[in-house]
Amino acid sequence: MFSYTDFFSAQIEALKQQGGYRTFLEIERRAGSFPAALKYGPGDGRRISVWCSNDYLGMGQHPLVLAAMKKAVDETGAGSGGSRNISGNNHYHVELERELADLHGMESALIFPSGYAANDAALTVLGGRLPGCVVFSDALNHASMIAGIRHSGAEKHVFRHNDVDHLEELLAGTDPALPKVIALESVYSMESDIAPLERIAELAEQYGAFTYLDEVHAVGMYGPRGAGKAAELGIEGRFDVVQGTLAKAFGTAGGYVAGPAPVVDAIRSFAAAFIFTTSLPPAVAAGALAAVRHLKRSERERTQLARKSLMLQELLRDHGIPVVSEAAHIVPVLVGDAVKCQNVARRLLDQHGYYVQPINSPSVPVGSERLRVTPTPHHSDDEVLAFAHALDAIWESERLPRRTLAPTLA
């Protein structure tokens, strides 16, 4: 008789042999002392330093955010009590959507429990409702965007990563009468490179395409008031829908889309991933609201993040440690081997107390395994220097190749 458990046990064992098995480090972030955390498991309570957090600006511990969440818990309780349609439409949700629409200069915004849900829902509706829609998707788009496009049932064309000539070739070969959606990210988190936003906006206008821009790794960190990369370039008005997250620069949880009111209303009205899910806890929305408002008026966190990222990039360049790109705040250190990538991460943690999660397939292609390092404004200069020296020593011990990478221009 077929054994289901034996089958999946063999699948997991094969994954382990390939070096692609993922382990989760149990930690407890320490509010007020981030990036410090406590590590659980063997050696419970050991103090470590987190170097791979998506809380890019440390807003998850900002006093204004914590105070807003505590106040909301006292006022509203723990959960929302339902979906947005059935008793779960809290005043904090509505205020947050107004604030996000204003951030992006859009008519309307809609929040979701996660950024994944926002992408899946929005692209399912856009691609599925537009008659005969053809979607053009960057080859390195996030899994949530790929899922939404697939769920839409729309015809899909994948253009080579950031290759505007290939995109134009695909657009030119498509019936001009058909609706077209170009889906892309502004900052690609595993590559830390920037999309050619201005040229893509030009192509969209030339070929009559609707643009869907994922700015999850840019909102809060780039542009006036933290509105993202398109805003930094002064072209935010040339993208139809912007998708963002509350879980990175804004330090809480959730995702959102912002755009023209009829488009956002269509997503609200037709997206199953929005209609049939419990809304964000009001306290989370309150914390996100406080973070968005603060980062609209404060440049300090963005300035400090940029300085720390540049410092680490320069140190690694001096050591000949390969970095995939230097165009954004994320520092993806290329190892190129799944097992060695895990070894480097393990030694950083065990020997130095630095936590960096190894990134293996399927997040990145086999042979391009990397450490996705994210310095924050709260890492001191001394900590950045010590981290670079520790990585350099391990790099030498593991006999990993060195090279010099010229900075990539955004």
Residues classed as catalytic: 248
Non-local (6+) Cβ contacts of 175 within 8 A are none
Nearest in space to 78 (alpha carbons), one of 355, 238, 278? 278
Angle between helices 91-103 and 282-297 (to 10 degrees): 30
E strand intervals along 88-154: 108-112, 134-138
The tokens describing 182, both together, are 């170009």
- How many C-beta atoms surround the C-beta of residue 347 within 10 A? 17
Q: Using the 8-state DSSP alphabet, how is residue 136 labeled? A: E
Non-local (6+) Cβ contacts of 341 within 8 A are 19, 335, 358, 359, 360, 369, 370, 371
The tokens describing 34, both together, are 């981030």
- For 296-334, the three-class secondary structure string (H helix, E strand, C coil) is HHCCHHHHHHHHHHHHHHHHHHHHCCCECCCCCCCEEEE
| Kind of pairing between the strands at 46-50 and 354-355 | parallel
Q: Using the 8-state DSSP alphabet, how is residue 131 labeled? A: T
Q: Using the 8-state DSSP alphabet, how is residue 399 labeled? A: T
Q: Under a CB-based contact definition with an 8 Å cutoff, are residues 283 and 73 in contact?
A: yes
The tokens describing 58, both together, are 């440390």
The label of the residue with tokens 């994210």 reads 374
Rg (CA), the chain: 22
| Kind of pairing between the strands at 370-373 and 331-334 | antiparallel
The label of the residue with tokens 């204004």 reads 64
Round to whole Å and give the CA distance between 65 and 51.
22
- How many C-beta atoms surround the C-beta of residue 63 within 10 A? 11
